[in-house]
Copies of this chain bind each other. A is one copy, B any other.
Amino acid sequence: MTTASRVTTKGDLTRQAILEDALQLASIVGFHGLTIGVLAKRLNLSKSGLFAHFGSKEALQQAIIETGSEHFIGLVVRPAMELGSAVETLHRLFDGWLEWSTERMAGGCLFVTATVEFDDRPGPVRDQIVEIERTWLGLIADSARRAMALHEFRADLDPAQFAYDFNAILLGFNQVRRLLNDPDSETRARRAFRRLLADAHRDR
């Protein structure tokens, strides 16, 4: 079911508009800063009206993460998966993530924020983030495995280690870019990625 086919009633449209705004706001102020009150004020809705769309703060948090996940799949994952070469897929995933965290998210990657806020809070929101992170790391490892099968990467590469290293570069980028406003952060991330790829190509 696509997003378009789900949005059919006025209530659905309002719900979608709330989520799009909440998503950006959560990336800036975090999930704890995102109160129903703040959100209602921004959207010129009553608190009870807004609350009726979700039923609980936890349900709103889950819906925000679900919306973020749909955007992420559309922007980063799907275009990368359509490419024939596994190495091209990895390049596209990397570029897509940089675009996602800088251009699409007002306050940096939503999932980085969610991870830090929920890693010590067992519950459905944490489970949802764990699932997203596992899927993300699995996707990178699978692409590396495909590159190995195509002899684009060396046969003794550890795909899970490759995924770990790939992900770490992006987290480093998110921090240096958001906190230090370092103009070299993208160049540094790309250099680290090139080094990772060179190591994956290298024959031992």
Chain A: how many interface residues by the 8 Å CB criterion?
Answer: 44
Cβ-neighbour of A30 out of B116, B137, B169 (below 8 A): B116
CB pair B133–A107 under 8 Å, yes or no, is: no
A156 proximal to B (CB < 8 A): no
With contacts A32-B32, A117-B30, A171-B172 taken as known, whether A164 is within 8 angstroms of B178 at the C-beta atoms is no
Interface centre among A29, A108, A169, A191 (most CB of B within 10 A): A169
Find chain B residues with CB under 8 A from A168 CB. 168-169, 171-173, 192
- Name A113's closest neighbour in chain B (CB-CB): B116
A selection of 24 A-B contacts at a CB cut-off of 8 Å is A30-B30, A107-B120, A112-B116, A116-B116, A119-B178, A126-B179, A129-B179, A130-B179, A133-B175, A160-B184, A161-B191, A161-B192, A164-B189, A165-B192, A165-B195, A167-B175, A168-B171, A168-B172, A168-B173, A168-B192, A171-B172, A171-B175, A172-B172, A199-B199
